[in-house]
Amino acid sequence: MPFHDILKELVENVPHAIGAIIVDWEGEAVQEYCHCDSYDIRFVAAHKGIILSRLRETDGESQGGTIADVVVSTTTQYLLIGAVDKDYSLVLQVLRACPLGLARFHFDKALKQIREEL
């Protein structure tokens, strides 16, 4: 399944999803699907993907393992950031009205599909 289709399925299956994007380790967009201006999701993802990369660099195996994902909560939304591999991340932006557990379920499923495509 192409990345676009995986992202579309993720966004369409998560209530109140704004968009999803795959970024590389420098924060550059690889593919996105969103219900907003693509610039907006690219801007958010670029910064959040870099944060995950930096967290993973500072994390040590002796501290409980490598960081796989992070959830950033703001007053209005959640950002789910997950490592596809050492070079790529998936970012999902959803409004806080979305049940976080449901968003994580679909997010984890999409991460698995993206990893299989690589």
Give the Cα separation of 24 and 76 in Å (integer): 26
Confidence at 117, pLDDT banded by 50, 70, 90: confident
Residue 81 φ then ψ, to 5°? -125, 120
Strand order in the sheet with 77-83: 29-34, 17-24, 88-95, 77-83, 69-73
Question: Which of 48-52, 67-71, 100-104 is predicted with the least confidence, judged by mean pLDDT?
Answer: 48-52
- Tell whether the model's pLDDT for residue 38 goes beyond 90: no
Residue 111: CB partners within 8 Å, gap ≥ 6?
A: 69, 82, 84, 90
Q: How far is CA 8 from the centre of its chain?
A: 13
- Tell whether the model's pLDDT for residue 46 goes beyond 80: no
Q: What is the pTM of this model?
A: 0.84
CA distances from 75 to 72, 94, 97 (A): 10, 12, 11
Range of the domain at 31: 3-117
Give the chain's domain count: 1
User: DSSP alpha helices (H): ranges in the chain?
Assistant: 3-13, 38-58, 100-117
- Tell whether the model's pLDDT for residue 61 goes beyond 60: no
CATH number at residue 14: 3.30.450.30
